[in-house]
Amino acid sequence: MHIGFLTSEFPNPKLSRSGGIGTSILNLAKGLVALGHRVSVIVYGQSGDGKFEQEGISVHTIRNPKVKGISRYLTQRKIEKLLNKLVAREALDLVEASDWTGITSGIKPECPVVVRLHGSDTYFCHLDQRPVKPINRKREKKALENADAVVSVSAYTAQVTKELFGLGRPISIIPNGLDVDNFEPSETVPEVGKVLYFGTLIRKKGMLELPSIFNALVEQNPNVSLELVGKDSADVLTKKPSTWELMQPLFSDKALPKVTYSGAVRYSEMRRKIDEAEVCVFPTFAEALPVSWIEAMAMEKAIVASNIGWADEVLENRSQGFLVHPTAHVEFAGKINDLLLDPELRKTIGKQARKRVIDHFASEVVAKKNEAFYLGLIR
């Protein structure tokens, strides 16, 4: 097969910054290539048009035309033209896109279209309990209705999306995958008492709860530190340009000196950051199926994470990590401290977490599920 992925993000130094969706596409693409399939990734919203090869994957970049009022329309026409060229000249069998803002709502290529639910704007606004832009909801609904097939990274996201858009169609469930070999546990001795959060600094990821959690942790254990890794972002409710600036006053006088914000790092450097930590934390309110959790688990790190919705599809509470509601600050801190004070507990949970990743989220496992799904659609 020749599979295409249409996306606005993909992890490569030549491209704009990438997040969890880009990482999940890379992992799946590599898994499909290993199975003998051809993969093309079309990345729009870039600085120029071009093409390059990456680990056996053909990456096409698209520069969005900038014309007031019709930029999105012109971008969609440009994408459709490239897809049809790949269909005609390189036998592209199908193209997959994410549900975010419904980019495929105005694209009808000469091949089947798959929409994968990583979490639409409508979905995340629902979880954030804030209104969605009507135009985004309209586009996302149209993209889902027009798709030849829909697949979701979690059952929770599929169910919520069905309810939000009134969808009656079936949705297949295939989780995000991970190149487990790139996230093997190492012999590096972590820094004593070090807690790590990695991901975007944004309200929906629980960043305005994390200071209160860490304040409680410092009261329980003064020999701790917290490192934050990830790009800063504007806050949607206060309209402030920096979530990190909103976070700082929320830390206590005891806690703030123990906090380090390292900003965004290259994907290739993330493993070292995980290595250095004893515990990873993810107090998020809104996810579909978080790759960051799986990365930490693959490296045998014990994690304390949100217990909302999708969480029990990632790990089993108490045996592969701890799940706590982000607003239960003292309880959340207590679970972190339990892990910090008990090396054997961290080791046991870490090993069970990695086994969970190998069995359910390894690229080769997930790639085979996607292979069967794509073949079924083509036939």
Ranges of beta strands (E only) in the chain are: 2-7, 38-43, 50-54, 57-61, 94-98, 113-117, 149-152, 172-173, 194-198, 225-229, 259-261, 279-282, 302-305, 322-323
Long-range contact set of residues 307-310: C-beta below 8 Å, sequence gap at least 24: 308/127, 308/284, 309/127, 309/154, 309/156, 309/157, 309/160, 310/154, 310/156, 310/157
Q: What is the pLDDT of residue 188?
A: 85
For the chain, the helix, strand and coil percentages under 3-state DSSP, each to the nearest 5: 45, 15, 35
Same domain, yes or no: 155 and 280 = no
Q: What is the CATH number of the domain that holds 321?
A: 3.40.50.2000
Same domain, yes or no: 205 and 274 = yes
Q: What is the pLDDT of residue 187?
A: 85
Same domain, yes or no: 222 and 173 = no
From CA 126, how far away is CA 157, in angstroms rounded?
Answer: 11
Q: Which residues contact 15 (CB under 8 A, 6 or more apart)?
A: 9, 43, 46, 61
Residues of the domain holding 195:
181-360
Same domain, yes or no: 87 and 44 = yes
Same domain, yes or no: 139 and 201 = no
Same domain, yes or no: 198 and 170 = no
176-196 burial by CB neighbour count: b if 16+ within 10 A, else e?
bbbbbebbeeeeeebeebbbb
Same domain, yes or no: 92 and 193 = no
Same domain, yes or no: 45 and 111 = yes
User: Is-contact 100 288, C-beta < 8 A?
Assistant: no
Q: Checking DSSP bridges between strand 57-61 and strand 50-54, what pairing results, if any?
A: antiparallel
Same domain, yes or no: 18 and 156 = yes
Same domain, yes or no: 194 and 275 = yes
| Alpha carbon separation from 298 to 121, 355, 357 (Å, rounded) | 29, 8, 6
Same domain, yes or no: 131 and 157 = yes
Closest Cα partner for 196 from 114, 265, 145, 260? 260
User: Is-contact 116 149, C-beta < 8 A?
Assistant: no
From CA 181, how far away is CA 79, in angstroms rounded?
Answer: 34
Q: What is the pLDDT of residue 256?
A: 98
- Say how many domains are in the chain: 2
With vertex at residue 189, the alpha carbon angle to CA 188 and CA 192, rounded to the nearest 5 degrees, is: 145
Six-digit token pair at 165? 């858009």
Same domain, yes or no: 146 and 231 = no
Mean pLDDT by 10 residues, the chain (379 residues): 97 85 93 96 96 96 94 96 98 97 96 97 94 96 97 97 96 94 90 96 96 98 97 93 98 98 87 95 95 95 96 96 98 98 97 97 95 95
Q: What is the pLDDT of residue 332?
A: 98
